[in-house]
Amino acid sequence: MGRVYNFSAGPAMLPEPVLCQARDEMLDWQGSGMCVAEMSHRGKEFMSIATQAEADLRELLKVPDNYKVLFLQGGASSQFTAVPMNLLHGGGRADYINTGSWSKKAIAEARRFCEVHVAAATDDCKFTRAPAQDELNLTEEASYVHYTPNETIEGVEFPYVPETNGKPLVADMSSTLLSRPIDVSKFGLIYAGAQKNIGPAGLTIVIVREDLIGQPITGIPTMFDYKVQADADSMYNTPPTYAWYLAGLVFKWLKDMGGLEAMAAVNARKAKRLYDLIDGSAFYSNPVDPQARSWMNVPFTLDNPELDERFLKEAKAAGLTTLKGHRSVGGMRASIYNAMPEAGVEALAVFMQEFERSQG
């Protein structure tokens, strides 16, 4: 078949122009006679790729000069460990906001290294909303405040950036980074697995304020020490070079698309198309507070779950794949990251309406 519209939560679609360029350069990057995956990471060819990728990411996110941008391995799950190891700074406590599955994983790992104070939790409503600023019970003893701006599984997104009274704010932005402009200066540390909006799985971006690094706990793996990685320009050991290159192509594509303000407008339209359809239907439902609905992950259920399998089968036949919801939530989930074209969302919307008409 031709290319499908793939609604996977991650790894997820990549922009077709990025794939075409990677394909065309596979055997010979710009006259070097090498695939990027074959290049020494210390050679001038790869160094130029790495440097340009970082510059483009900094430009897209307007990263202030006093922040380091790291290109690491290990996914957000490694950052669940690295964050307390690097940011406790001799303290024994951190505040975490619990808004869903990924918050819970971050909390569970942090508890192995410090006392976690849950500053707010929305489990009372099955993680279908974001807590308001005045619900956040932040503590004086915390070394930092951690939250998950977008919960990939529950489809919940904070509509605001928490105010933390000067405490470093740490954000797992795996499924939202680059979906819209952000003010990096509000954060102490931002991390994101690449496999949603950045590039292929196997690359992890960390953006960290310089003054926060250099005081790790005893027994930190050297690879997890932000200071070591920052001092080595993310090349303490061999970095995931090909993933870094693909991410660089994605950054270039985002610039070609008009940058993050333009992406935000497109992403807002894509999400609205699906939520409007769901809200206007007695056949589909989404349980999330409209103020906190994710632009990136749109979970929805069929009111008659007996139709789930048929929905998935017919969607797949229509070239709309990977719509099955996470097992912990059930139903469907349409992940519509930057690389999902508006035409893909429109095709899904038309399919959903048609399916409702034929089955409803």
Indicate which residues carry an active-site annotation: 102, 172, 196
* Cβ-contact 254, 338 below 8 angstroms: yes
By beta-carbon proximity to a copy of itself, the closer residue of 129 and 196 is 196
By beta-carbon proximity to a copy of itself, the closer residue of 38 and 210 is 38
CB of 137 to a copy of itself, least distance (A): 27
Q: Which residues bind a copy of itself (CB under 8 A)?
A: 1-4, 6, 8-14, 16, 19-20, 22-23, 26-28, 31-35, 37-41, 43, 73-78, 80-82, 85, 109, 112-113, 193, 195, 199-203, 219, 221-224, 236-243, 246, 319, 321-322
**Is 237 known to sit in a ligand binding site?**
yes
**Is 42 known to sit in a ligand binding site?**
yes
**Is 304 known to sit in a ligand binding site?**
no
**Is 335 known to sit in a ligand binding site?**
no
**Is 229 known to sit in a ligand binding site?**
no
CB of 174 to a copy of itself, least distance (A): 9
CB of 250 to a copy of itself, least distance (A): 11
What's the token pair of residue 169?
């704010």
Q: At what angle do helices 259-279 and 241-256 cross, to 10 degrees?
A: 80
**Is 172 known to sit in a ligand binding site?**
yes
Encode burial over 14-51: b for 16+ CB neighbours within 10 A, e otherwise: bbeebeebbeebeeebeeeebebeebebeeebbeebbe
By beta-carbon proximity to a copy of itself, the closer residue of 41 and 58 is 41
* Calpha distance 22→168 (Å, rounded): 38
By beta-carbon proximity to a copy of itself, the closer residue of 20 and 268 is 20
Residue 325 CB-half CA count within 13 A: 21
CB of 285 to a copy of itself, least distance (A): 24
**Is 218 known to sit in a ligand binding site?**
no
CB of 222 to a copy of itself, least distance (A): 6
By beta-carbon proximity to a copy of itself, the closer residue of 128 and 152 is 152
The C-alpha torsion from 122 through 158 and 163 to 183, rounded to 10°, is 160
By beta-carbon proximity to a copy of itself, the closer residue of 19 and 161 is 19
CB of 357 to a copy of itself, least distance (A): 26
Instruction: Extract the annotated binding site.
Output: 42, 76-77, 102, 152, 172, 195, 237-238
Instruction: Extract the annotated binding site for pyridoxal 5'-phosphate.
Output: 76-77, 102, 152, 172, 195, 237-238
